[in-house]
Amino acid sequence: MTISEDKYEAVIGLEVHAQLSTITKIFCGCSARFGAEPNSQTCPVCLGMPGVLPVLNEKAVEFAIKMGLATNCTISEHNVFARKNYFYPDLPKGYQISQFEHPICKNGRVEVETDGEKHTIRINRIHLEEDAGKSVHDEDFVDAGSSLVDLNRCGTPLIEIVTEPDLRTPQQAHAYLSLIRQLVRYLRICDGNMEQGSLRCDANVSVRRKGETELGTKTELKNMNSLRNVENALTYEIQRQVSLLESGRTVEQATLLWDPSSGTAQIMRVKEEAHDYRYFPDPDLVRLEIAEDYVRQLKKMLPELPAVRRQRFMDQYGLPEYDAEILTSSRELADYYEQTVKIINDAKLVSNWVLGDVLRVLNDKKIEIKEFPISEIRFAELLKLIREGKISSSAAKKVFDVLLTSDKSADVIVKEMGLIQVSDDSAIESMVKEVLAEYPDEVNAYKNGKTGLIGFFVGQVMRKSAGKANPKIVNSILLRLLSP
Ligand code: ADP
Ligand code: ZN
Ligand code: MG
């Protein structure tokens, strides 16, 4: 951090759009599935033909409320849908149905941690709205100078989650966004995929001198389709604003587009004429009244959320925070872990293997735990062989690799590969005696105080057993036979 940056602090507020994973759209029966043939999932309602009536999808309401509950919001009893009027080619109605004065969730808060410090981020509101279509300018599909419109996305349900300007660093923004993604995935209300645009983030940022309480002029960053991009764009923009102030100039209110390839942001438009969306209540939709009892039902349906589950993993399984954090990073990974522990009841052994070899395979193959080829039962069978001393941990790694591509059980693989560990005391003792007879000089040196030679003897016995002797037993027999 430079000295000039040290004099300033950044103020950041995030607006996150999450596409709800309902089967159908928010006001019609069209499929909301991603990736279909362009314009194949439309109807008169989502195309905004005259005389049609939108009907609200209850699932979208349920999903929005769940997110509100997970972020400690108040759920509004009275809800009104409003028309937000603007013209754009991918918005055939000429307005977007959204919520203005009466969002479904208000006044929430979440906690994020960066560098071991906790920060409370207030949520101003979460509102429900419909998405617009997509304009395609891609030169692979479109002749120069023209664009195409795909209206499949028109009417897809979104929630927009708006924070108060409570974030202070790009790292906090990264942590917040990562938490929001984790929450929507735990709740199974959105796939959280930023590359495909199911989760999109606009970042508002201003800077001010430290100690100042007034907010500075903000700019808005768009087009960041990964957590890293959001963090990088904010770092870039904060530096740009600080440089402007340091050179005696002022920050102009603007919208900027982040360009990840150059690592810079281009100003898209300056100080928009104050938005005039002419919001008014949509006369086609009735007021939405949300009963307290309905909210209570949904609250009961919520899964155990990440922070609670992480703490429980520490309390119940005696795991270090580091393990608990990674194991609960996704609901599915946490489930996989708990299922396995339920079978073999050795929390730390399972954790070590999940954090080590399982995650390595997921990363290498770029797959999710639900696509991981070793079921909890087969995984537990392998870990049981280790715990019972039947195979060494290096043998276990070999078996693990085979399990990835074979349907055979760990037991069968161990037998076929001849990996059973020798734990028979008398067999090991006779190998130990052979080794000691072969190295009389080393035995003498050991007895004269060169006890570091123990490792040498263990190594020799292991070699004699072709790696199959149980090293713990080898060690204890050696100590006994070498003791004066
Ligand atoms: P707009 O009218 O431009 O949409 P809002 O008041 O609705 O602005 O705020 C949009 C987002 O910008 C919110 O997340 C809010 O916390 C954040 N925000 C508002 N003012 C500032 C500021 N001066 N600096 C940084 N963020 C801000
Ligand atoms: Zn439709
Ligand atoms: Mg706003």
- What pLDDT digit, counting tens, does each position of 235-250 carry? 999 999 999 999 999 9
> Which ligand does the CA of 84 lie closest to?
3
Candidates 292, 331, 290; CA nearest to 310 is: 331
> Which ligand does the CA of 155 lie closest to?
2
Going by pLDDT thresholds of 50, 70 and 90, the confidence category of residue 274 is low
> Whole-angstrom Cα distance, residue 303 to residue 70?
10
Secondary structure (3-state) at 32 = coil
* Lowest mean pLDDT across 24-33, 222-231, 409-418: 409-418
The answer to whether residues 329 and 312 touch, using CB atoms and an 8 Å cutoff, is no
For the CA of 205, the nearest atom of ligand 1: 25
Indicate the top mutation candidate among 107, 204, 222 to test ligand 1's pocket, ranked by most ligand atoms within 8 A of CB. 204
> Whole-angstrom Cα distance, residue 295 to residue 79?
14
Cα separation of the two ends of the chain: 63
Query: Which residues have a Cβ under 8 Å from the Cβ of 209 and sit 6 or more positions away?
Result: 7, 8, 9
Q: 297 vs 272, which has greater pLDDT?
A: 297
Going by pLDDT thresholds of 50, 70 and 90, the confidence category of residue 111 is very high
- Closest residue by Cα to atom 13, ligand 1, is 13
Measured at the alpha carbon of residue 150, what is the angle toward residues 146 and 154, in degrees to the nearest 5? 135
The answer to whether residues 227 and 236 touch, using CB atoms and an 8 Å cutoff, is no
> Whole-angstrom Cα distance, residue 362 to residue 371?
9
Average pLDDT value for residue range 221-232: 95
Q: 425 vs 277, which has greater pLDDT?
A: 277
- In this structure, what are the phi and psi dihedrals at residue 85, rounded to the nearest 5 degrees? -90, 125
Give 183 Cα–ligand 3 centroid separation in angstroms.
Answer: 23
The answer to whether residues 165 and 205 touch, using CB atoms and an 8 Å cutoff, is no
Give 252 Cα–ligand 1 centroid separation in angstroms.
Answer: 14
> Which ligand does the CA of 40 lie closest to?
2
Give 99 Cα–ligand 3 centroid separation in angstroms.
Answer: 12
Give 24 Cα–ligand 2 centroid separation in angstroms.
Answer: 8
DSSP state of 31: B
- Write out pLDDT tens, residues 48-74: 999 999 999 999 999 999 999 999 999
> Which ligand does the CA of 165 lie closest to?
1
For the CA of 164, the nearest atom of ligand 1: 16
DSSP β-bridge partners for residue 111: 120
Secondary structure (3-state) at 173 = helix
Q: The whole model's pTM is what?
A: 0.89
How many C-beta atoms surround the C-beta of residue 56 within 10 A? Answer: 17
Give 31 Cα–ligand 2 centroid separation in angstroms.
Answer: 8
Q: Which two tokens stand for residue 375?
A: 């079921």
Query: Which amino acid does the sequence have at 50?
Result: P
> Whole-angstrom Cα distance, residue 365 to residue 371?
10
Query: Which amino acid does the sequence have at 82?
Result: A
- Closest residue by Cα to atom 7, ligand 1, is 162
Query: Which amino acid does the sequence have at 108?
Result: G
> Which ligand does the CA of 133 lie closest to?
2
For the CA of 275, the nearest atom of ligand 1: 2
Give 131 Cα–ligand 2 centroid separation in angstroms.
Answer: 12
- Closest residue by Cα to atom 17, ligand 1, is 13
Q: 464 vs 17, which has greater pLDDT?
A: 17
Q: 323 vs 137, which has greater pLDDT?
A: 323
Give 441 Cα–ligand 1 centroid separation in angstroms.
Answer: 79
Give 81 Cα–ligand 3 centroid separation in angstroms.
Answer: 16
Indicate the top mutation candidate among 218, 221, 271 to test ligand 1's pocket, ranked by most ligand atoms within 8 A of CB. 218
Instruction: Please state which CATH number belongs to domain 425-482.
Output: 1.10.10.410
DSSP state of 193: -
Residues with CB under 6 A from ligand 1: 11-15, 162-165, 204-206, 215-216, 218
> Which ligand does the CA of 52 lie closest to?
2
* Stretch (H or E) spanning 205: strand 199-209
- Write out pLDDT tens, residues 326-345: 999 999 999 999 999 999 99
For the CA of 166, the nearest atom of ligand 1: 16
pLDDT at 272: 62
Give 58 Cα–ligand 2 centroid separation in angstroms.
Answer: 16
- Closest residue by Cα to atom 8, ligand 1, is 204
- Closest residue by Cα to atom 9, ligand 1, is 13
Give residue limits of the domains in the chain.
8-293, 305-417, 425-482
Candidates 148, 113, 117, 151; CA nearest to 131 is: 151
Please, what is the angle between helix 306-317 and helix 331-344, to 10°?
Answer: 20
Give 192 Cα–ligand 1 centroid separation in angstroms.
Answer: 23
